[in-house]
Amino acid sequence: MIISKTIFLDYVFCAKNAWLKLHKPELLKKFELSAFEKNLMEQGNEVEAEARKLFPQGVEVMERGEEAVEKTRELMEERTSAIFQATFIEDGFIARNDVLVWNKEESSWDLYEIKGTNSLKDSGTDHNHIDDLTFQASVLSRADVPVGRYFLVHLNKDYVRMGALNIEKLFLIEDQTEIVLAGLALVEDQMKTASEYLSEKIEPKGGCECIYTGRSRHCTTFKYSNPEVPDYSVHDISRIGGSKKKLLELIESKIFKIDDVPEDMDFSDIQTNQIAVHRRQKSMIDIDGISDEIKNLKFPLYFFDYETFAPAIPLFDGYRPYQRIPFQFSLHILEKPNTEMKHVEYLHEEMSDPSPSIAELLEEHVGAVGTVITWNKSFEAGVNRELGERLPEHRATMDRVNSLLYDLMDVFKKQHYVHPEFRGSTSIKKVLPALVPELSYSELGIKEGGQASNAWGEMLAKSTPPEVSAQIAKDLKIYCGLDTYAMYAIWEKLYKMLD
Ligand code: SF4
């Protein structure tokens, strides 16, 4: 078995998961990537393609395996100024370098690793990047390659596109040589243990430490490794990941079902309510709390939702790396109670900045009074603020919309309504089927925001046949329209409870 840096990084993240990926191919379908992960991979490829332009003389090694190693040696002997995908296989490890650059003055090679992140300090990624570089440093040293410096190339979060991309400003290059060399011995120890562990033919016992963490930390193989844990378990108790001692106590006592949680165990109010509602299979409703939230909303009510796309490489002027492009919105307008709702929607169907069209429509349809109802308002508020910064002539409109924002999710976050089927979540995808079961996302062509985001790119791609683009446009409109209609339906349900 040859261990690549991807397998090694998987092992560093979770040994058990890496072993299962290698030895249980029948589980592979369970590792299917989410729309979000697929998007990240595509963006990573685009970033690499742009970053290569920093090395205009670069030659790519197209071969694979031993042929790639041979080709790399040839290019190195010719002192090729920059080699993309230089490949080395040593002691059961394979390293494919993003860019290997010949440094004439020092008579050595410099290694450049390209990352699609905005900063090395992005949560959790800096350590990963260093392990990645250090793994490569070890393989290159085993292959007797004289390496001078180790660099990480990443996106510059402060770069704002104006006109053609300025590659020198789009990327930052950081010298990591000292950190890589300081961590080499430790990473080489890990490489040795990874090699031993991953070569085991018999599945290693235990090793799934996520049994002691909340649900959000579990990977797709959690159920395979922990068949005794039900789909809805103590791991789903709200914020239980932050109460490590409590979860440890429950797991050590083999308590997995929420019904089996001891009555006298101490939980926060939010956790206590979730457990109580599940036990009784009956909702908990605080009418006064709901009234305080809902009765104060000023008409007209504007149920509002954006869909956005956040490309690593800014597509239009005024955007930074990963800044959100609002490409679609849906707006249901209710002037007064018990009146017909009006629906305004917009989907940008060409490859240009949608911001001016969106701002103009909001200016036209959102008045000076009323309430703009969203779900998780910080998202819409942020998109509005950025739009106003990009287009100063529309800043007043965007500030006005933001001044009218209300977050309908607050009713559920504050637990004025707790339903057993929410299962500790306040996502609209959980609240809607519990409160308004006749409305559902399950039959839609697009079911969630990540999918909608990818679909916009696919709809506009030149390679997409027109009939496919037309279907995507239809699916996007249905999806975003349901998001705002769902908010209306939930509001109506709450409003009628107050009669
Ligand atoms: S659930 Fe956690 S510990 Fe278990 S295999 Fe997945 S990542 Fe590893």
**Could you tell me if 410 and 462 lie in one domain?**
yes
Average pLDDT over residues 421-447: 94
Verify that 296 and 227 share a domain, yes or no: no
Question: Looking at ligand 1, which residue's alpha carbon is closest to its atom 3?
Answer: 208
What's the CA-to-centroid distance between 16 and ligand 1, angstroms?
7
- 418-455 b/e (C-beta count within 10 Å ≥ 16 → b): bbbbbbbbbebbbbbbbbbeeeebeeeebbebbbbbbb
Provide residues with CB under 6 Å of ligand 1. 14, 16-17, 208-210, 218-219, 221-222, 225
Say whether pLDDT at 354 is over 80: yes
Residue 29 reports pLDDT greater than 70: no
Contact 313/321 with Cβ under 8 angstroms? yes
Beta carbons of 82 and 59 less than 8 angstroms apart: yes
Return the half-sphere exposure (C-beta side, CA atoms, 13 A cut-off) of residue 345.
Answer: 19
Domain's final residue, options 199, 232, 264: 199
Res. 288 pLDDT band, cuts 50 70 90: very high
And the tokens for 418? 């707790």
Q: What is the best residue among 221, 223, 251 to mutate for testing ligand 1's pocket, by most ligand atoms within 8 Å of CB?
A: 221
- Nearest ligand 1 atom to alpha carbon 20: 5
> Is 484 a residue whose pLDDT tops 80?
yes
Asked if 445 and 322 sit in the same domain, the reply is yes
Q: Between 313 and 35, name the one with better pLDDT.
A: 313
Which protein residue's CA is at the shortest distance from atom 5 of ligand 1? Answer: 17
By percentage, how much of the chain surpasses pLDDT 70?
Answer: 96
What pLDDT band is residue 141 in, cutting at 50, 70 and 90? very high
What is the pLDDT confidence band of residue 243, given thresholds at 50, 70 and 90? confident
**Closest atom of ligand 1 relative to the 17 alpha carbon:** 5
pLDDT exceeds 50 at position 73 = yes
pLDDT per residue over 371-403, tens digit each?
Answer: 999 999 999 999 999 999 999 999 999 999 999
Instruction: Give yes or no for a contact between 6 and 207, defined as CB atoms under 8 angstroms apart.
Output: no
Q: Indicate whether 371 and 479 sit together in one domain.
A: yes
Find the 52 Cα to ligand 1 centroid distance in Å: 35
446 and 339 in a common domain: yes
What is the pLDDT of the chain when averaged over all its residues?
94
Q: Are residues 118 and 154 in the same domain?
A: yes
Residue 356 above 90 pLDDT? yes
Distance 109 CA to ligand 1 centre (A): 38
The answer as to whether 204 is a domain residue is no
Taking the centre of ligand 1 as the mean of its atom positions, its distance from the CA of residue 196, in whole angstroms, is 19
**Residue 373 dihedral angles phi and psi, to the nearest 5°:** -95, 125
Does 275 lie in the same domain as 329? no
Residue 69 lies in a domain: yes
Share of the chain above pLDDT 90, in %: 86
Answer yes or no: do 107 and 138 share one domain. yes
Same domain membership, residue 225 and residue 194: no
Domain contains 381: yes
CA of 181 to the centre of ligand 1 (A): 30
Per mean pLDDT, which range of 29-38, 131-140, 312-321 is the poorest? 29-38
Q: Write out the E strands in 170-324.
A: 171-175, 284-285, 301-309
The pLDDT of 178-202, averaged and rounded, is 97
pLDDT, average across residues 197-207: 91
CA of 7 to the centre of ligand 1 (A): 15
CATH number of the domain bearing residue 49? 3.90.320.10
Residues 6+ apart with CB under 8 A from 394: 355, 356, 359, 360, 363, 387, 388
- Same domain? For 186 and 275 the reply is no
pLDDT at position 35 is 66
Rg of the chain over Cα atoms, rounded to whole angstroms, equals: 27
191 & 230 share domain: no
For residue 124, pLDDT over 60 is answered with no
What mean pLDDT comes out for the span 118-146?
82
Tell me the β-bridge partners of 84: 60, 99
CA 218 to ligand 1 center in whole angstroms: 6
Q: Does residue 49 belong to any structural domain of this protein?
A: yes
C-alpha to C-alpha distance for 159 and 261, rounded to whole angstroms:
51
Q: Which of 14, 21, 205, 229 to mutate to test the pocket of ligand 1 (most atoms within 8 A of CB)?
A: 14
Residue nearest ligand 1's atom 2 by CA: 210
Residue 205 or residue 284, greater confidence? 284
Secondary structure (DSSP) of 453-493: HHHHHHHH-TTS-HHHHHHHHHHHHHHHHHHHHHHHHHHHH
Q: What is the mean pLDDT of residues 482-491?
A: 98
Specify the ligand 1 atom closest to the Cα of 213: 2
Residue to probe by mutation, ligand 1, list 12, 27, 198, 208, most atoms within 8 Å of CB:
208
In this model, does residue 122 exceed pLDDT 50? no
252 and 174, same domain (yes or no): no
Give how many domains the chain has, as a whole number: 3
Residue 499 confidence (pLDDT) above 90: no
**20 has pLDDT over 80:** yes
d(CA 224, CA 221): 5
d(CA 129, CA 7): 14
Closest ligand 1 atom to the C-alpha of 219? 6
Distance 215 CA to ligand 1 centre (A): 11
CATH of the domain at 469: 3.30.420.10
**What residue owns the CA closest to ligand 1's atom 4?**
208
In the listed set 239, 260, 282, which residue is the last one of a domain according to the structure?
282
Q: What is the pLDDT of residues 45-56, one digit of tens each?
A: 899 999 999 999
Neighbours of 292 (CB within 10 A): 13
Q: How far is the CA of 420 from the centre of ligand 1 (A)?
A: 27
- Ramachandran quadrant class, 419 (left: phi over 0; alpha: psi -120 to 50; beta: rest): beta
Residue predicted with more confidence, 219 or 412: 412
pLDDT score of 498:
93
- 34 pLDDT higher than 90: no
Sequence-ordered list of residues with C-beta below 8 angstroms from that of 386, at least 6 positions apart, any chain: 323, 324
Q: What local confidence, expressed as pLDDT, does residue 27 receive? A: 73
Residue 10 CA: distances (Å) to CA of 14, 21, 43, 88, 128: 6, 9, 20, 20, 10
Q: Which of 282, 309, 326 is the last residue of a domain?
A: 282
Q: Assess whether pLDDT exceeds 90 at residue 314.
A: yes
d(CA 412, CA 427): 9
Distance 27 CA to ligand 1 centre (A): 14
Q: Which structural domain, as residue segments, surrounds residue 277?
A: 209-282
Distance 236 CA to ligand 1 centre (A): 16
Residue closest via CA to ligand 1's atom 7 equals 219
